[in-house]
Amino acid sequence: MKLRYVLTIILVVSLSTPLHALTGREIMEKNDALPEADTSLSTVLMLIHKGERVTEKEFESSSKKYPNSEDKLLISFTRPTRIKLLTHACKGRDDDQWLRLSSGKIKRIASSDKGKPFVNSHLYYEDIGSRDIDDYSYTLLEDAKAVGNDCYAVQAVKEVGEKVYSKLILYVRKSDYFIVRIDFYEGNEFHKFLENHDIRKIDGILTPYVSTMTLADGKGRTELKILELEYNKELRDSLFNKEALR
């Protein structure tokens, strides 16, 4: 079971109106049950806004579902760098992440570095990939409006592995249980938020074509725009091997 929100494609199911008041966990289970692709292949444009400066980066993202929620994700930059980041989701513990530099050198990202910016963007290494629904505890908060939608607001606190964020507030669209916004807290501080826009249904899977991570103080944001996308294309397992990075 996976709770996905960045760089991976989110599936949606049509839902019937609940007969009783849902708990936070139940809402997230409904989100987790949204249809998702076995594989995805996309080209993403990353726009990093810092001050008056905008830096463009482009990468290809490949992901593949594996049993026991141990999905794998490979991000390969095509410009301006040629870095690759391989993420192996691991049940019950922090994901493994390896970084491959243009020179071919490979380094594993230490858990303690999961809260560090990824390629100078407003995303952390922690934000890359997917998250296991069981890694968090959930509390339902008051309903809220987010990105123009009526939403359930669910507080999620990580219970497993390195805790980069003290809590997340997930805004789950009431109409389809799709997450449209996430607030990230570090300590007691509201640090940044992610919003999903231009949500399209591709092959039955709800997919945000634009995701924006914005700093709470308004000093910067990172936009992710999907340029190309293909679901359920055959992807070799070897593509996601650490050794294949070399």
Partner 1 sequence: MNRYIYFVLKNPLPILIMLIILTAVLIPGIFRLEFDNSVESFMPRNDPDYIYYEELKRIYGDNGRFAIMALSSDNLWSGEALSTLDQLLIDLEEYKDFNEEKETARLERFDSIASRGEVRYSDLMAAFADDPPFQRLLTRKAQTRDNTGLIGARRLEKLRAGIIRSMNFKGQEIVDKVISPLTAEDIKGENDVLETYNLVEQDENGRRILPSTEPEIDLFKRRLQRNPTFDKGLYSRDSRTGEITDFCVVIKFINLDDQDPAIREMTEVVDPYRDTFTIISSGVPVVNMWINIYMHADMFRNIPLVLLGVILIFYLNFRSVRGVVLPFVTLGLAELWILGLMGYMGFRITPVGISIPPLMIAVGSSYSIHLLNQYYADFDAIMGRDKREGLYQSMTHISLTVLLAGLTTFIAFMTLATSQVSAIREWGIASAIGVMFAVFISCSLIPASLVLLPGTRPSALFRRNKAKKTVVDRIIALMAQGAIIHYRKVLIVVGILVALSLAGVSRINIETAFLNYFKEHDTVKLQAEAIGDKFGGGWGYDIVIDSGKVDGVKEPAFLMMIEQFREWLIADDNRRLNIGRTESFSDFIKTMHMAMNNDDIAFYRIPENRWDIIDYLEIYSGDDEDSDGRFDEFEPFVDIDFRYCNLLARLCEKEDYHVGTTEISRIATEIAGHLDRTLPEGFTYAISGFPMMNVKLVRYIVTGQLQSLLLSLMVVGLIVILLFRQIKAGPLALIPMSVAVIINFGLMGWLGINLDMATSVIAAITIGIGVDDTIHFLNTFRHHRGRGMSIDETIRRTLAVSGKAILFTSFALVFGFSVLTTSNFFPIVLFGILTATTMINTTIGALLVLPSVIKATGINLDPPENGPRLGRYLRIDKSFGIDQNGTTQQD
Q: How far apart are CA 180 and CA 178, in angstroms?
A: 6
Each residue 99-138 as x (binds partner 1 by CB under 8 A) or -, in order, gives x-xxx-xxxxxx-xx--xx-xx------------------
Note whether 81 binds partner 1 by CB under 8 A: yes
Q: How far apart are CA 214 and CA 183, in angstroms?
A: 10
Note whether 246 binds partner 1 by CB under 8 A: no
Q: How far apart are CA 86 and CA 100, in angstroms?
A: 8
Q: How far apart are CA 246 and CA 72, in angstroms?
A: 17
Q: Token digits for 103?
A: 């020179």
Each residue 45-64 as x (binds partner 1 by CB under 8 A) or -, in order, gives ---x-xx-x-x---------
132 in Cβ contact with 89 (< 8 Å): yes
Question: 139 has which bridge partners?
Answer: 155
Which one, 16 or 103, has the nearer CB to partner 1? 103
Q: Binders of partner 1: how many residues, by CB under 8 A?
A: 32
Which one, 14 or 120, has the nearer CB to partner 1? 120
Least distance in Å: CB of 125 to partner 1? 9
Q: How far apart are CA 205 and CA 10, in angstroms?
A: 6
Note whether 82 binds partner 1 by CB under 8 A: yes
Q: Among 93, 219, 233, 236, which residue interacts with partner 1 (rule: CB under 8 A)? A: 219
Cα 121–235–134 angle (5° rounding)? Answer: 60
Instruction: Give residues in contact with partner 1 (CB under 8 A).
Output: 48, 50-51, 53, 55, 77, 80-83, 99, 101-103, 105-110, 112-113, 116-117, 119-120, 163, 166, 187, 215, 219-220
